[in-house]
Amino acid sequence: MSVEPETARVIGFHRPALPWLVLAFIAAAAIGVPLLAGQQVADFSAALHPPGPEHLAGTDHSGYDLLVRTAEGLRVSLLIAVVCAVATAVLGVAIGVGAALVGGWVDAVVMRLVDGFNALPHLVVGIVIAAMWRGAPLAIIASIALTHWPAVARVVRAELLAVAEAGWVHTSRLAGASRWFVARRHLLPAVTGQALIAMIMLLPHAVWHESTLSFLGVGLSPDQASLGTLLSQARGDVLTGAWWTLVFPAAALIATALAFSAAGAAVRRRHQPPTGRVW
């Protein structure tokens, strides 16, 4: 059965604002909960208390309120993810635009480099880079940005090459427009939407990679709260029956990644040409 786009929006099949509302709630919780709770002090006498009226999400092995600790870790993971996504998008757009505009052997060499980077296992390369400066947030950002830019560069280059063959671009060139004018007025604006989509779609990857690196012990140091360090610490606590130390950070990680993915899909649908029907 097919549903017309206007009908789909009326009956609620399309809710593009929902992922953004969820992300706004997650960001507000990551910022507001630690501020409202204030500075926490380790209390080993209250360690690994199950969820209850005093501690809604229980406590961890140091006696910290796990809800506050999860919000602090979420704040760090979100900040690192945003910086990683922006850095990756900027690097990928710069390389893709440069390759497409210069063309020739430069374009061919850049594309072979892209193929070479894509052939490398991202997680293994990320572990090697992060392990060289263990515990440094900049190392985590570099490990993600340096392994994810090829996808952005390839998409941007393909979009530029497609726009370059459009009729209005040929008309502008025949009218005597310079290469810089064509690039500034026609080509570069065409990749803005693709760059935005790429940056948003990179956010869940950045969250997962930061959490994975910290979970494996090559990311942030254990004293720095992030979703990865909380999950890493939960490995031993779960064996003692403290299931909540794993459930709440994992739920925050999954909810954040799904919200980012849904937001990226909504932006991508918005920039796609309308088909007239929704299946």
How much is the pLDDT for 2? 40
CA separation for the pair 150, 113 (Å, rounded): 8
Q: Give the residue extent of every domain in the chain.
A: 63-271
How much is the pLDDT for 4? 44
Percent of the chain residues past pLDDT 90, beyond the cut: 6
Considering the segment(s) 63-271 as one domain, its CATH architecture is Orthogonal Bundle (1.10)
For the cut 80, the answer to whether the pLDDT of residue 90 exceeds it is: yes
84 near 94, Cβ under 8 Å?
Answer: no
How much is the pLDDT for 226? 85
For the cut 80, the answer to whether the pLDDT of residue 191 exceeds it is: no
For the segment 197-246, what is each residue's pLDDT rounded down to a tens digit?
888 888 888 888 888 888 888 888 877 888 888 888 888 888 888 899 99
Angle at 28 between CA 27 and CA 33, to 5 degrees: 115
Angle at 24 between CA 94 and CA 38, to 5 degrees: 110
The Cβ of residue 149 has, within 10 Å, a number of other Cβ atoms equal to: 24
CA separation for the pair 14, 12 (Å, rounded): 5
What is the reported pTM?
A: 0.77
Compute the mean pLDDT over every residue in the chain, rounded to the nearest whole number.
Answer: 80
CA separation for the pair 197, 235 (Å, rounded): 35
